Amino acid sequence: GQSLEQPSEVTAVEGAIVQINCTYQTSGFYGLSWYQQHDGGAPTFLSYNALDGLEETGRFSSFLSRSDSYGYLLLQELQMKDSASYFCAVRDQTGGYQKVTFGTGTKLQVIP
């Protein structure tokens, strides 16, 4: 089956950089996504990596190493509004079936 691990909580200072790691175990790996979810809100898409390397979108970057079954989300110039839960999610395909498995989420607290 699929499993993902990410830290449960991270605290960082406003203006700093924070990295949220995600390791996964799956067969038929297709891609790794990251989502942000504020309390009481729906998840919003941040990034998707299917190939090794770094993808940059504004203050957010995401990295994938398929050989290490590892990825991370990098948030730069942290703002108070970045306080939220961040989920990594693996998309895989086995036997013609596609499935998306989410990690349990990392709660990021940005402090002044």
Partner 1 sequence: GAGVSQSPSNKVTEKGKDVELRCDPISGHTALYWYRQSLGQGLEFLIYFQGNSAPDKSGLPSDRFSAERTGGSVSTLTIQRTQQEDSAVYLCASSTWTSARETQYFGPGTRLLVL
Q: Which residues bind partner 1 (CB under 8 A)?
A: 31, 33, 35, 42-45, 48, 50, 87, 89, 91, 96-105
Considering the complex, state which of residue 17 and residue 50 has its C-beta at the smaller distance from partner 1.
Answer: 50
- From the number of C-beta atoms within 10 Å of its C-beta (0-12, 13-18, 19+), residue 11 rates as exposed
d(CA 39, CA 37): 6
Considering the complex, state which of residue 52 and residue 77 has its C-beta at the smaller distance from partner 1.
Answer: 52
- For 109, the token pair is 């607290």
Please, what is the minimum distance in Å from the beta carbon of residue 111 to partner 1?
Answer: 21
- Amino acid 60 reads F
Considering the complex, state which of residue 50 and residue 80 has its C-beta at the smaller distance from partner 1.
Answer: 50
